[in-house]
Amino acid sequence: MSSQNGNLLSVKDLRTYFETEDGTVRAVDGISFDLERGETLGIVGESGSGKSVTNLSVMRLIPEPPGRIVSGEIIFHGQDILTLSPEEMRQIRGKQIGMIFQDPMTSLNPFMRISKQLMEITQLHLGYDKDQAYRHAIKMLDTVGIPDAEARVDSYPHEFSGGMRQRVMIAMALSCEPELLIADEPTTALDVTIQAQILELIKNLKRDTGTSVILITHDLGVVAGMSDHIIVMYAGKVFEQSPTRELFAQPGNPYTKGLLKSVPDPAHEHGRELYQIPGLPPDVAHLPPNQCPFAERCYRVEDICRREFPPFVKLNDEHFSLCHFAGEVYAQSRVESDAKTAGANRRVAGTEASTGGGTQR
Amino acid sequence: MFKFVLRRLIITLPMVVIVVSLTWGLIRLAPGNFYSGEKKIPAAIEKNIREKYGLDKPWYVQYGRMMGSVLRGDFGNSLRYQGQSVNQILLMTLPVSATLGLFSYLIALLVGILAGTLAALKQNSRLDYASMALAMLGLSIPNFVLGPLLVLVLSLSLYWLPPARWGGFPSWNLVLPVLTLSGVYMAYIARLTRSGMLEVLRADYIRTARAKGLSERAVVFRHALRGGLLPVVSFTGPALAFLISGTVVVERIFALPGLGNYFINANLNRDEPLIIGIVAFISIAILLFNLLVDVAYAYIDPRIRY
């Protein structure tokens, strides 16, 4: 957690608010996290939890007005990018931080050839001339797995499928070999088989280039295989923060447990109705400050949750949870996980017995 | 694309035939005649005139003759302007109207797009409110009010500009008619541009452009303008049609020897060949302009294919 030299990005107490007719929306309300070089960080949460706003803040792409970064620090490469001039910020965008957006169908300019959209970024940041930029564009398309890149580079976006367009977006984001890649729900708008391909692509490119990645998603299944650390966000706050493996094995927050329970598990719950967290995400414009924002939806709720804002509890060196009963939930998860493992073992043992025990798990 | 253009060109012909037929029918339905004036004409002279112009023939023969001349592209002689063919009059008046119309539309495009873009970029600023208030005003004042008002203030009171008459191109005489004619279009284009740009500036691909680190100027001019101006392009087709009816009024106000002014006179005089000629010419022009706009649209937006 401490900000070492290994940190590429360090966000401290970031607050981004939006002024609306309905009042001040505290979309991001005191977020802190660190990202080490070469690491992948997953940010998970329901719609409206502040995931995207956090990362648009890092890019300083919050539309102002109505949005405003009220306070906090975003230390990238040792400097606070909130203090940079717009001109200096443009040097970072696209060059040192690349970004992929959710909807590849609308994120590319429909009036401009792919080649031109890819070329303008290297011409701008790397000072390439037209020829170099054009060759680089072809190379990037090739890298992201677009077949026959040379022939297709001059296409318009509408001539590409959704998955191909997302590949183009990735090619664009990685054109200048940025140190940080922010992927904002990169697979949400794609169908499932393409999702897997795109995730695999990001994973491979990350491995080859050593880029750090922030992966925003509402799908725990997506981050599970990708990220080193996970942040769970709710109502503009970090609810839980943990290494990926531990978060899945032993969550320390009722909200995270709800999210994990909502992931379909066809192997063990066949025929059973899929779990969902009761209620809806809160209206962050009208959130009472002195209660837990999740209280109304929580299975573990007690009086104190409605009276006091919960503490950010340190469960171990790398694992934190925002809950009055964090320790208790954490311990409970341990018991459940042990029971589950034991149960799974029993089932496996049973299968082996009935089939003569040929298969290994 | 080629097929599309060809199809549209072929369809132009029946369209013109329909428009001309309706016009001819309406002229014939109206009471009176080109030779009936204040003075009563003796019956013998009337008979002579009717024979000379073929008015004694059954209506279908007259219609056939008229349509034949239209299809040959020779509209015959004017009944009023003795010794001048309709084609000569068209050739003489067209430069005046075309200068007025195109110049007005260019000015309207220039000012309208500029004002609309600035208003969109500085949404809810004073500049935005001011230009949109002006645009509202421009839309609300009809050209037959705006024209005389401008004349009253800028020529008859301040003596800055000539109040009327044609002075060729370029000349100071052109300023007031162009201002009068372009006012509405300026306003309309400014509003179209503003809303188009506002929509595009919120689009995902503009966010992408910003995320690339492009300067605000590159974002607006390279990425936003094209999509933001699509509504203006599609407005240009109908605008040119309205522009022609606008020139009719404006040419009258400023006594310009254009197509519109002659069209009014032709109607007052019941100058049938001239009316038919001008109507046929204008409908062909509108059809061709619309075709041009559609082609331009496909050029601007690569997703559109015919």
Report DSSP state, residue A272.
Answer: S
d(CA B127, CA B118): 8
From the list A190, A226, A195, A225, the residue with the least C-alpha distance to A211 is A226
Contact call for B222 and A120, based on CB within 8 A: yes
pLDDT score at B20: 92
- Would you say residue A356 has pLDDT above 50? no
Contact of B43 with B236, CB cutoff 8 Å: no
- Would you say residue A43 has pLDDT above 60? yes
Contact of A43 with A231, CB cutoff 8 Å: yes
A7's enclosing H/E stretch is strand A7-20
From the list A6, A69, A34, the residue with the least C-alpha distance to A231 is A34
Contact call for B301 and A110, based on CB within 8 A: yes
From the list A335, A343, A329, the residue with the least C-alpha distance to A257 is A329
Which residue in A92, A103, A156 is closest to B204 by CB distance?
A103
Q: Which residues of B touch A (CB under 8 A)?
A: 203-205, 207-215, 218, 222-223, 226-227, 300-303
pLDDT band at A5 (very low <50, low <70, confident <90, very high): low
Q: Measured in Å, how far apart are chain B's first and last C-alpha atoms?
A: 5
pLDDT tens profile A44-97: 988 888 888 898 899 898 887 788 888 888 998 888 988 888 888 898 998 999
pLDDT score at A145: 84
Contact of A247 with A240, CB cutoff 8 Å: yes
pLDDT score at A347: 67
Q: For residue A284, give both structure tokens.
A: 């962050």
pLDDT score at A351: 57
Contact call for A90 and B204, based on CB within 8 A: no
Which residue in B205, B211, B303 is closest to A106 by CB distance?
B205
A165 reaches B (C-beta below 8 A):
no
| Residue A222 CB neighbour total at 10 angstroms | 23
Residue A312 CB partners (closer than 8 Å, separation 6+): A238, A320, A321, A322
pLDDT band at A2 (very low <50, low <70, confident <90, very high): very low
CB-CB neighbors (< 8 A) of B300 in chain A: 111
**Collapsed DSSP state (helix, strand, coil) of residue A199:** helix
Which residue of chain A comes nearest to B302, CA vs CA? A111
CB-CB neighbors (< 8 A) of B203 in chain A: 106
Residue A186 CB partners (closer than 8 Å, separation 6+): A100, A101, A102, A166, A169, A170, A198, A199, A202, A215
pTM of the model: 0.78
pLDDT score at A270: 66
pLDDT score at A108: 92
Which residue in B213, B222, B301 is closest to A94 by CB distance?
B213
Angle of CA points A183, A185, A188, to nearest 5° = 140
pLDDT score at A233: 92
**Collapsed DSSP state (helix, strand, coil) of residue A346:** helix
Which of 138-157 (A) contact B at CB < 8 A?
156
Strands (E), A176-317: 180-184, 212-217, 229-234, 237-243, 312-316
Contact call for A109 and B301, based on CB within 8 A: no
| CA-based nearest distance A87→chain B, Å | 8
Which residue in B208, B214, B301 is closest to A124 by CB distance?
B214
Tokens 């949400």 found at: A188
Optimal mutation site among B121, B207, B208, interface A, most CBs of chain A within 10 A: B208
Which residue of chain B comes nearest to A94, CA vs CA? B212
Contact call for A93 and B300, based on CB within 8 A: no
Report DSSP state, residue B157.
Answer: I
Which residue of chain A comes nearest to B298, CA vs CA? A111
- Would you say residue A316 has pLDDT above 70? yes
Contact of B70 with B20, CB cutoff 8 Å: yes
CB-CB neighbors (< 8 A) of A90 in chain B: 213-215
Percent share of chain A, pLDDT over 90: 19
Residue B163 CB partners (closer than 8 Å, separation 6+): B151, B155, B156, B176, B254
pLDDT score at A114: 92
pLDDT tens profile A120-133: 999 999 989 999 99
Percent share of chain B, pLDDT over 90: 29
Contact of A38 with A212, CB cutoff 8 Å: yes
Contact call for B226 and A158, based on CB within 8 A: no
Contact of B198 with B120, CB cutoff 8 Å: yes
Contact of A308 with A291, CB cutoff 8 Å: yes
- Would you say residue A358 has pLDDT above 90? no
d(CA B233, CA B296): 8
Contact call for B205 and A110, based on CB within 8 A: yes
Residue B37 CB partners (closer than 8 Å, separation 6+): none
* CA dist list (Å): A268 to A272, A352, B205: 9, 17, 43
- Would you say residue B83 has pLDDT above 50? yes
pLDDT tens profile B222-241: 999 988 988 898 888 878 87
pLDDT tens profile A220-248: 888 888 889 999 999 888 999 999 988 88
Q: For residue B140, give both structure tokens.
A: 């609300």
Contact of B121 with B197, CB cutoff 8 Å: yes
CA dihedral A182, A185, A190, A196 (to 10 degrees): 70
pLDDT score at B118: 92
Report DSSP state, residue A310.
Answer: P
Contact call for B212 and A156, based on CB within 8 A: no
From the list A69, A166, A319, the residue with the least C-alpha distance to B208 is A166
| Strand A319-322 to A312-316 pairing | antiparallel
| Residue A38 CB neighbour total at 10 angstroms | 16
- What is the b/e burial string over B103-125, where b = at least 16 CB atoms within 10 angstroms of the residue's CB? bbbebbbebbbebbbbbbbeeee
d(CA B187, CA B151): 20
Which residue in B204, B215, B301 is closest to A106 by CB distance?
B204
* CA dist list (Å): A112 to A238, A332, B253: 39, 55, 46
Angle of CA points A217, A119, A74, to nearest 5° = 40
Q: Measured in Å, how far apart are chain A's first and last C-alpha atoms?
A: 36
CA B205, B207, B212, B214 dihedral sign is positive
pLDDT score at B104: 92
| Strand A180-184 to A212-217 pairing | parallel
Contact of A346 with A335, CB cutoff 8 Å: no
A108 reaches B (C-beta below 8 A):
yes
From the list A313, A295, A203, A219, the residue with the least C-alpha distance to A263 is A219
Optimal mutation site among A111, A114, A180, interface B, most CBs of chain B within 10 A: A111
Question: Helices B2-29 and B59-72 meet at what angle, rounded to 10?
Answer: 140
Task: Tell me the ipTM for this assembly.
Answer: 0.81
pLDDT tens profile B134-161: 999 988 998 899 989 998 888 888 888 8
- Would you say residue A202 has pLDDT above 90? no
Tokens 């040379």 found at: A150
- Would you say residue A192 has pLDDT above 60? yes
- Would you say residue B205 has pLDDT above 90? yes
Could you tell me which residues are beta bridge partners of residue A214?
A: A41, A182
- Would you say residue A1 has pLDDT above 50? no
Give chain A's mean pLDDT. 84
R_g of chain B, CA atoms, integer Å: 24
Contact of B222 with B216, CB cutoff 8 Å: no
Which residue of chain A comes nearest to B205, CA vs CA? A107
- Would you say residue A4 has pLDDT above 50? no
Contact of B34 with B79, CB cutoff 8 Å: yes
Optimal mutation site among A87, A97, A109, interface B, most CBs of chain B within 10 A: A109
Contact call for A109 and B210, based on CB within 8 A: no
pLDDT score at A49: 85
Which residue in B211, B214, B303 is closest to A59 by CB distance?
B211
A19 reaches B (C-beta below 8 A):
no
Q: For residue A184, give both structure tokens.
A: 């904002």
- Would you say residue A180 has pLDDT above 80? yes
Optimal mutation site among B205, B217, B229, B305, interface A, most CBs of chain A within 10 A: B205
Contact call for A90 and B218, based on CB within 8 A: no
pLDDT band at A263 (very low <50, low <70, confident <90, very high): confident
Q: For residue B160, give both structure tokens.
A: 């800055």
- What is the b/e burial string over B263-282, where b = at least 16 CB atoms within 10 angstroms of the residue's CB? bebbeebbbbbbbbbbbbbb
CB-CB neighbors (< 8 A) of A109 in chain B: 205, 208-209, 223, 227
Q: Which of B25-34, B200-209, B253-262 has the weakest average pLDDT? A: B25-34
d(CA B212, CA A117): 10
Contact call for B204 and A125, based on CB within 8 A: no
d(CA A292, CA A298): 10
